[in-house]
Amino acid sequence: MLLIADSGSTKTDWCLIENSGNEISFSTEGYNPCYMNSKEIETSLRKNLPAGYEWNKVEKVHFYGAGCYDDKFPVMTDALKQLFVNADIEIAMDLLASARALLGDSPGFAAILGTGTNSCLYDGKEISMNIDSMGFIMGDEGSGAYIGKRFLGDYIRGYMPAEIKNRFWNDYRLTPDELIDQIYTKPLANRFCSGFCKYIHDNLSNHEYYTQIVKDAFRDFFRNIVCGYPEYETYSFNCVGSIAFHFHDILENIASEFGMNMGTILSCPMEGLKKYHSMES
């Protein structure tokens, strides 16, 4: 049996492909080894994997994940080995998953805009260039966490239009001090900030402020990251992730400002990964 996982910081999509060809798809929380240790990941997996399957019969695991840098491979491998005891386990960045899903074996530009941000040039097999997103604290421009952080910062500093600040207070009843405490003392602050993107999306038509926050975040993404790739305008803009998918129209406008044509936008790469690994076998 083959198990493919595509993990962001918020959610992991899984597909178990049995030897008969039957597929079982399910989701768990996201597993980012930059923010979680092996024991935390193992505990969550034991709680969230569907019951009724003999996981010890899985022969191969392809785990693509946010934060799965080379030095974090052991964190993921140690956790997965506790559940899939007989499997050959391969760990790779979620960025490679996105490139393979978006471009197959063709070279091009691929990006992720979800809870976090990443991007690359892809040569048709491997990532040939990657500009570091620098993560939630220092970077991740254009991501859900980045958008949410800007939104909450405006609320805390009093920069929001009054009607929006009042609406936010009525909807959430969160004081600035409570928000700062949540972000600085509780785990998974990136996920917390990103969680407000649905609220922003649902209110786009209510006030230009919401649209402007997203535009500013995407402009920062292009200015600080995308423009760093040599001759970036010669590539189409291909992207995976919930932020790219749900804010597609705004993203297309900003990409055009920077001279890039839109390519493929996917909410998640799983279908492309299944196709890629079926061809591989």
Higher pLDDT, 51 or 122: 122
Residue of 197, 195, 199, 159 whose CA lies nearest to 176: 159
Q: According to the model, what pLDDT value does residue 272 have?
A: 86
Please check whether residue 56 is in contact with residue 29, taking contact to mean a CB–CB distance below 8 angstroms: no
Whether the predicted pLDDT of 278 surpasses 80? no
At 215-257, the pLDDT tens digits run 999 999 999 999 999 999 999 999 999 999 999 999 999 999 9
What radius of gyration do the chain's Cα atoms show? 19
The full length of the chain comes to 281
The domain locations on the chain are 2-97+270-280
Residue 18 in tokens = 């049995």
Average pLDDT value for residue range 5-25: 87
Cα separation, 216 vs 197, in Å, equals 14
Whether the predicted pLDDT of 277 surpasses 70? yes
- Say yes or no: domain 2-97+270-280 is CATH 3.90.1530.10: no
Q: According to the model, what pLDDT value does residue 271 have?
A: 85
Phi-psi region of 142 (alpha: psi -120 to 50; beta: other; left: phi over 0): left
Confidence of residue 281 (pLDDT cuts 50, 70, 90): low
Confidence of residue 268 (pLDDT cuts 50, 70, 90): confident
Q: According to the model, what pLDDT value does residue 8 have?
A: 76
Higher pLDDT, 30 or 21: 30
Contact residues for 280 (Cβ-Cβ < 8 A; gap 6+): none
Confidence of residue 34 (pLDDT cuts 50, 70, 90): confident
- Residue ranges with strand state E in 2-150: 2-7, 11-17, 23-29, 60-65, 88-93, 108-113, 117-122, 127-129
DSSP-assigned beta bridge partners for residue 60:
2, 88
Q: State CA 26 to chain mean position distance.
A: 17
How deeply is 227 buried, as exposed, middle or buried, from its count of CB atoms within 10 A (0-12, 13-18, 19+)? middle
Higher pLDDT, 275 or 28: 28
Least confident of 79-83, 93-97, 164-168, 204-208: 93-97
At 111-148, the pLDDT tens digits run 999 989 999 999 998 999 999 998 888 989 999 999 99
Q: What percent of the chain has pLDDT over 70?
A: 99
DSSP-assigned beta bridge partners for residue 28:
12
DSSP assignment string, 6-45: EE-SSEEEEEEE-TTS-EEEEEEE---TTT--HHHHHHHH
